[in-house]
Chains A and B, each alone.
Chain A
Amino acid sequence: MSETRSETLVEFDDVLTRYEPVIGLETHVELGTESKMFCGCATTFGAEPNTQTCPVCLGLPGSLPVANAAAVESTIRIGLALGCRIASWSRFARKNYFYPDIPKGFQTSQYDEPLCTAGHLDVEVDGETYRVEIERVHLEEDTGKNLHVGGATGRIHGADHSLVDFNRAGIPLVEIVTRPVAGAGAKAPEVARAYVTELREIIQALGASDVRMEQGSLRCDVNTSLAPIGSLEWGTRTETKNVNSLRSVERSVRYEMRRQAAVLDAGGRVVQETRHFHEDTGSTSSGRSKEEATDYRYFPEPDLVPLAPDAEWIEKLAAGLPELPAARRRRLQEEWGLSATELTWLVNAGALGLVEQTVAAGATPADARKWWLGELARRANDAGVELADLAVTPAQVAELTALVAEGTINDKLARQALDGVLAGEGDPRAVVEARGLAVMGESDELVAAVEAAIAGAPDVVEKVRGGKVQALGALVGAVMKTTRGQADAATVRRMLEERVR
């Protein structure tokens, strides 16, 4: 049950003077297949409740499951991308328990014969590499969704009854389990986050899932324990659920380290239990105590025959793997001549792919970076959206840089052209034309503006003639102002120089 009193916490830096954290992550990824794991029901997110169900995924008597080939292949591909050994013999198993969101009374999962074992994923935090060992990658099915009615805010506590939607029941789910990660010390929370971030990138690159944490297609259980420094034994771990963002992964480890340290400092014992993460407060609260594996009474699924991927099948899948994120980052860093820090900025801004596509559309890497990390990052930030969700394509950004490079527009006009693109007025060249944004040539209007600026500031003209060349900037500014930024600054400067000298 939820705890109302606030927990005693130890300062984070203080925790590390006495304890070594050990973390572990169980990540569930809903695969982006067209149909469910064991039946042909569609998997469309957000469909009307209970419109994507059939006798198989409702667990009706007499129905028989048949495994989805694409889901099996996606699981093997994820395993290969994580450097796993792919089992030559693998079976499904029934995990028996009662909960209203599993219609069959068991979840079809894998137990002692998972598809993939013994992999690893290297993640980088502050320039240091941490190896996260992968224990197993297995394939199972998702559960339905409960809606609790009658209690406050749809929570189970105090609910009168629950309503169940089985659209999600039976959607293929891949579970990726790490081995315990020790030795990260103060960096443990960030290593946890970096791991999930990198895993998400890999699965995205594989096209196996849309991995959207906010929609629940990537879900994370975070295990944390503390051991006194120098101790040979690991402490009791807690498993934090409901961790729904990358930031929450980091915060949940941080919170559990501080809470468990306080329990241990007071001479108490950490209880092995499931805890729930609360996004609003960044804290965790006690949930149910954990079942023993034996309570699930696993046994091999008699309705599904074993999977026995042969070497030829695995090799074919391995050959079809795309370039993985780490290799791609290394390649782009080299191609674009970036420092490690510059690369990190691009990655953290979510701009790597966008810059890559902009360069592919003809922009220079420097121009593409300047736009995405500058003006476009600002616009995205103002609008509260991700860079990728801005209503401008990499090809349009490349066109903007081309228009600047050819002298048709300057940077200021380019920003106005971008306004038009974002407002849905078309491609940059069309916007420039429609809005009349092209820079002024040496027109009568510009000559008049230049001459007016000179006539209006005789003191500045004196300074320039007296050798203070930088004073010319004030005159350039005046001309740009009268022409509302439509003039080309270099042209204006040249025209002024001709007339003042």
Chain B
Amino acid sequence: MSTESTPDRGATPALGRQDIAHLARLARLAVTDEELDRFAGQLGAVLDAVAQVQRADAGDVAPTTHAVPLTNVLRPDVATPSLPRDVVLAGAPAAEDDRFRVPRILGEEE
């Protein structure tokens, strides 16, 4: 998200197996050793393609996050009806005691 101008704007840091493994862990994806190599190459190509944008001289252009120049779009603090619970839980893979049932959470305390 840095907007500072650097001389090597066009350069893309190469993605290593470790980066892919880290991203996969954050995304809760199981990735095999063979896939780590393949994805590193593929994602590297994607980053290279996107990096072309950085070659444009945009030093004094603020990063764009919204195409429409709107600010302060707010709603009044008024409660409106929620969904019926049976409708809500109908979309859940599993439910129990009027709640969403999820697998136990590993590796974390309360």
Sample 27 A-B pairs with CB under 8 A, ordered by A number: A1-B109, A34-B79, A35-B78, A40-B78, A41-B80, A42-B82, A48-B98, A50-B85, A50-B100, A54-B82, A55-B83, A68-B74, A68-B75, A69-B74, A69-B77, A96-B26, A98-B27, A100-B102, A146-B105, A150-B104, A156-B109, A160-B104, A163-B100, A166-B88, A285-B109, A288-B108, A297-B26
B66 on interface, CB distance cutoff 8 Å: yes
Interface assignment of A407: CB less than 8 Å from any CB of chain B: no
When the two chains form their complex, are residues B79 and A308 in contact, meaning their CB atoms are under 8 A apart?
no
Evaluate contact between A70 and B97: CB separation under 8 angstroms.
no
A223 to chain B, nearest CB (A): 18
A interface with B by C-beta (< 8 Å): 1-2, 33-35, 39-43, 48-55, 58, 60, 66-72, 91, 96-100, 112, 146-150, 155-157, 159-166, 242, 276, 285, 287-288, 295, 297-300, 302, 304-309
Asked if residues A161 and B83 are in contact (CB atoms below 8 Å), the reply is no
How many chain B residues sit at the interface, stated as a range, is: 35 or more
B83 CB, min distance to chain A CBs, angstroms: 5
Chain B positions 31 through 70: 1 when the CB is less than 8 Å from some CB of chain A, otherwise 0: 0000000000000000000000000000000000110101
Contact: A295 with B26, CB < 8 Å?
yes
- How far is B36's CA from A175's CA once the two chains are assembled, in angstroms? 38
Contact of A308 among B71, B83, B107 (CB under 8 A): B71
Contacts of A55 in B (CB 8 A): 83
Q: Give the interface SS of chain A, mostly helix, strand, loop or mixed.
A: loop
Contact A164 B109 (CB under 8 A): no
Q: For A39, list chain B residues within 8 Å (CB).
A: 80
CB distance from B103 to the nearest CB of A (A): 6
Say if the beta carbon of B99 comes within 8 Å of chain A: yes
User: Is A306 within 8 A of B85, CB to CB?
Assistant: no
Contacts A50-B98, A288-B107 hold; do A40 and B89 have CB atoms under 8 A apart? no
Which of A35, A71, A148 touches B104 (beta carbons < 8 Å)?
A148
- Besides A72-B74, A163-B100, 9 new A-B residue pairs in contact (Cβ under 8 A), listed by A number: A35-B78, A67-B75, A68-B75, A112-B1, A162-B101, A288-B108, A302-B66, A305-B73, A309-B72
Q: Once the chains are docked, how many angstroms separate the CA of A70 from the CA of B76?
A: 7
Cα of A70 to Cα of B102 in the assembled complex, Å: 34
Give complex CA distance A295, B103 in Å.
Answer: 23
> Do B98 and A66 touch across chains, with their CB atoms under 8 A apart?
no
Q: Which of B26, B71, B83 contacts A53 (CB 8 A)?
A: B83
For B66, list chain A residues within 8 Å (CB): 302, 305-306
B35 to chain A, nearest CB (A): 20
Q: Is the CB of A161 within 8 A of B73?
A: no
Contacts of A162 in B (CB 8 A): 101-105
B4 at the A interface (CB under 8 A): no
Contacts of B8 in A (CB 8 A): none
